Amino acid sequence: MNTTLILAVVAIAGVASAGLYLYRRKWLDALLVAVAATALGLLAADLRMPGEGGRTFTIDASTAPVSLDGVHGLTVLGEGLRAAQWNDLPALPLDWKTPRGLAIRLDFPSQVALGRVFRLKVAREEKGAAQLELLAENGELLAQVRNAGDLTVEWTPPVAEPVVLKARLRNASGAVLAEGPVPFIVHEPAPLQVVGRFGAPSFDLRVLNDLLTGSGALLDWQVQLSRALTRTQTPREEMKAPNLMVIDAAWFERMGAGERSALLERVAGGMPLLVLGANANDAGLWSRTVQLPLRAQPAGSKIDAPFEMPLTTLAPAARDAGAWQGSDNMVWTRDWKQGRIAWLAVAEWHRHAIAEPRALALWWQGVIDRVGIERRQESGWVAPDEMALVGQRMEVCARGVRGEVTLPDLKQTLAWQRRADRADVSCVAVWPQKTGWLRVDDNKAGAHGFYVYAQEDWRSWQDAQRRDATARYAARTLERPADGPTRPIPVLPFALAFVVAILLLWWRERR
């Protein structure tokens, strides 16, 4: 029986009873019946009123709530709180309007391998013309870019060490919009372990060999010079876990069916395979074995970026060729169970080895990246999701660790805590007391540094991170705080009034 029907029954019974007493001129009895019916109706109505039991709490960046006991909803002013603060709060209805301001978002890697290009991207809500500058610690200009919309600068670190650069964003008139530190760690790269098998020699192979050797890679290299002669290069030390195999198309085409199957099984087990397609002749073989649709290319076909190179005689017919996906650097890739196969459809890159060695090396880095070489380690440090600020709680997280972690700068040793929302990741919470690198040591993950920003660093970026964190919190509930009464009215007075009125009426009837 719903509340409306109960109230209707109580009202009808009360009016009828009071009417009968009035008809008999028992005025006091009629009043007692009216009081009893009214009290019973108020008991059934479940009336509510404002009060501390259901209040709405107003917060902003400077008033993070310590407790939300008795709070039924939140009203947020400004950008809201940081993710670490929102994660401590239960999901409550949120009343918040996304601010409109000149927030920016920075995107850059926390670690870069020596020899790789460091890229800093600034995404802006204001899309007008602007200038982004990347500066060294001594103020020397390292790179700059002028453009409208998002901005990206690039720089190649010269040595392996922790680096703190400075970035500055200016508007079209030269006024500084935002600036702050850009910290990252440059580390020595793990050397590639490359197995190379080639059916014919070429200048391109020689240049590729030099590039890989110069990068510190271990090479197991065999080139078929003739039917009876093979040039072999053995690695300078034992290759324990080869992580890339490079072949030319001619070598693959000359293999027996059993050898091809064994090679593809090795790729299926996780070995990335890069095929140099310059000397391919049998399009049908590639279609049957790896489902690669090759088509003859017009004579003289070339690409112009990053420099001029001719296309191979056979190349995939389209950018998306079935399971194969192409790219601007003319590399087509497809997954092959646990591994990946890549087809390079350009040649004669050796012509740029002398005039443009740096550009050629960067281009080859992009090609190898497309192959998808992964060096998964059992343990490693996890980059923080938001800026670590001095005096505020931050999470230090690592993958594949257990036991304790030491923070020498804070003179603390803490026990790792598993994260339920992230597989194989453990974290500890710390409160850094000064800006700069915060050193952490772990028996498995080794030594590492997390950068702690000052409160005044990148205020526009901080605003953007708080907006994003507040939006994620708001998504945890689709309801908004209700307006009006929020707390039940106490029912004891109504119950007492009903009981007293009924007892008096009974006493009067018994007289």
pLDDT value, residue 227: 84
pTM for the model stands at: 0.74
Q: Per-residue confidence at 397, pLDDT binned at 50, 70, 90?
A: very high
Question: pLDDT for 263-310, tens place per residue?
Answer: 999 999 999 999 999 999 999 999 999 999 999 999 889 998 888 999
485 pLDDT more than 60:
no
AA letter at 401: V
pLDDT value, residue 111: 94
CB neighbour list of residue 222: distance below 8 Å, 6 or more residues apart = 196, 197, 198, 230, 231, 232, 233
Question: pLDDT for 67-90, tens place per residue?
Answer: 777 677 888 888 889 988 888 888
The pLDDT > 90 percentage for the chain reads 59
CA 235, CA 227: separation in Å to the nearest integer?
A: 24
Rg (CA), the chain: 36
For residue 371, give Cα distances in angstroms to 30, 336, 339, 366, 411: 92, 12, 9, 9, 44
CA 365, CA 116: separation in Å to the nearest integer?
A: 8
More confident position, 251 or 19? 251
pLDDT value, residue 461: 95
153 pLDDT more than 60:
yes
DSSP string for 417-484: EE-TTSTTEEEEEE---SSEEEEEEETTTEEEEEEEE-TTTTHHHHHHHHHHHHHHHHTT----PPPS
Question: pLDDT for 498-507, tens place per residue?
Answer: 777 777 777 7
Long-range contacts of 351-358, Cβ-Cβ distance < 8 Å, separation of 24 or more: 351/309, 352/307, 352/309, 353/207, 353/210, 356/307
Question: pLDDT for 375-393, tens place per residue?
Answer: 657 788 999 989 999 999 9
511 pLDDT more than 80:
no
